[in-house]
Structure 1
Amino acid sequence: FVNSMSDLFHENMPFSFLDKVFQVIEQTPRHSYQILTKREKILQAYCSQRKMPDNVWLGVSVESAKTKHRVDILRDISANIRFLSVEPLIADVGQLDLSGIHWVIVGGESGHKARPMKLEWALNVQEQCTRQNVAFFFKQWGAWGEDGVKRSKKANGRIFLGREWNEEPILHY
């Protein structure tokens, strides 16, 4: 992940700096770069002027139904791999149109003030991925386990529906 604890498309990030980042990405085609943002409008503006390099996996965060509009913006951007990070899943996302999406990551929230993720919310996303033939990756339960008990995210683990889900997208480059 590029900037795993921040957002490359932050509003204070000048496009001239982003140009330099993508220049390095283009110069290193042997690597894959996963870029995730919550700032879909800045991503859209930047990508309207520039083509994404083939080795970029481009994603948006979708935490609830309130943020699923980001999927439509991502779908319209040309990228070899487009993915959703449905993490932290803090409410049901409802119906998702996953056309043009290659990978979905689901996970619960961690940290001191973490909110629980309900099984039915994660199940809703997993079932939609299965129906729409999209790779599904279950990252973690987070601070709250499937049983509704708060403990460490390591103790809660990443078993979902009796197994680990480690599906990955088919590479298109």
Structure 2
Amino acid sequence: MATTKIEWAERVWNPVTGCTKISPGCQNCYAEHMARRLAGRCGYPAEEPFRVTIHGDRFNEPLRFAKPQRYFVCSMGDLFHADVPDNIVYEIFAVMADTPGHTYIVLTKRPQRMKELLGRPDAANEVWNRTTYSDYPGCKKPWPLPNVWLGVTAENQQAADERIPILLQIPAAVRFVSCEPLLGPVDLYDYLQPKTKTAFYNYGGRGRAMEVVIRKEHLNWVICGGETGPNARPMHPDWVRSLRDQCNAAGVPFLFKQWGEWREACPPDDEIWNGHPPTLRHEHGTYFIRLGKKQAGRLLDGVAWDELPRF
């Protein structure tokens, strides 16, 4: 377990590593690239460094820290991959239950399995029966765990519409979406606030319309970021601004992680245009310059967006 430069976490915890690609956002997976660099070392198999691997020796790492930390769980894999046994998932959640002072951020591209495991009627018992904390007299056993945030990746509108509705059916203290790498415009309007419908009632012969809440659950946080790495794809600034504006309108916290490798340029007026080849013309007509993650930065219209969920 190590500290991290990821803007929305303080540490990473990887009791499970490895994954398989299932959508366009996986194309240039940073975790796969890193696993290949570590092949044969640090617990990554020499032959298939990115195959799903359980690291039992890492399970109790969060117990070593008394100071509250914000953990990104399984930053090098997907905890809800089909190759991760059910009992392993519950064991990891039991560690989270045993350390209520820490905050755990769990991100998946497989919300259906997350729902199958965490939405079961006996899910709370599966977790709490594996803890030591629950042995203390008078211990409360809340469910969902108040220190666990659950999220899905949505790199485009299709992924958002497939994954977010499932996420909203899963018990969670905080639900969030990570639009990284953002590969297209994403409309989150239906997911950022309770869903209502207009119902018509007849009162004494007089018809009246009334807004009825049909879904209370909504997203509590939105993360957005561009792609990094040798084959990174550019992210159009209008896509990012749209997400920011949607969140501001709905009162949902927004965190802009990074632009990635590419930044927009407006030749010939842009001062960074000269001397930074290669350039790329986006399909919408915008020009981009490859500057690298550090120089591209993470300011959106001059502002660093670092909002976290409020609960």
- TM-score for the superposition, normalised by structure 2: 0.53
Residues 8-157 of structure 1 correspond to what in structure 2 (within 5 A)? 8-49=79-120, 50=123, 51-69=143-161, 70-97=163-190, 98-99=192-193, 100-147=218-265, 148-157=288-297
The gaps in structure 2 that reach 5 residues or longer are: 1-71, 124-142, 194-217, 266-287
Q: Write the deviation string for residues 83-126 of structure 1: whole angstroms up to 9, x where unpaired.
A: 11010001111343212211101000001111100011111111
- Does the 8 Å CA contact 1:146/1:156 hold for their aligned counterparts? no
Instruction: State percent identity of aligned pairs.
Output: 42
Q: Write the deviation string for residues 52-82 of structure 1: whole angstroms up to 9, x where unpaired.
A: 3111011100100110121111112121111
* SS in structure 1 of the partner of residue 263 of structure 2: coil
Equivalents in 2 of 1:2, 1:164: separation in Å?
24
Equivalents in 2 of 1:96, 1:13: separation in Å?
33
Equivalents in 2 of 1:122, 1:146: separation in Å?
12
Equivalents in 2 of 1:61, 1:94: separation in Å?
14
CA deviation after TM superposition for structure 1 residue 14, in Å: 0.9
Equivalents in 1 of 2:165, 2:242: separation in Å?
19
CA deviation after TM superposition for structure 1 residue 46, in Å: 1.1
- Does the 8 Å CA contact 2:119/2:171 hold for their aligned counterparts? no
Equivalents in 2 of 1:38, 1:20: separation in Å?
20
* SS in structure 2 of the partner of residue 68 of structure 1: helix
Aligned residues: 171
Structure 1 partner of 2:61: none
Task: Find out whether 1:3 has 2:74 as its counterpart.
Answer: yes
CA deviation after TM superposition for structure 1 residue 29, in Å: 0.2
CA deviation after TM superposition for structure 1 residue 163, in Å: 0.9
Aligned Cα root-mean-square deviation (Å):
1.1
Q: Which moved more, 1:19-28 or 1:69-78?
A: 69-78
- TM-score for the superposition, normalised by structure 1: 0.94
Partner letter of residue 174 of structure 2? I
CA deviation after TM superposition for structure 1 residue 5, in Å: 2.0
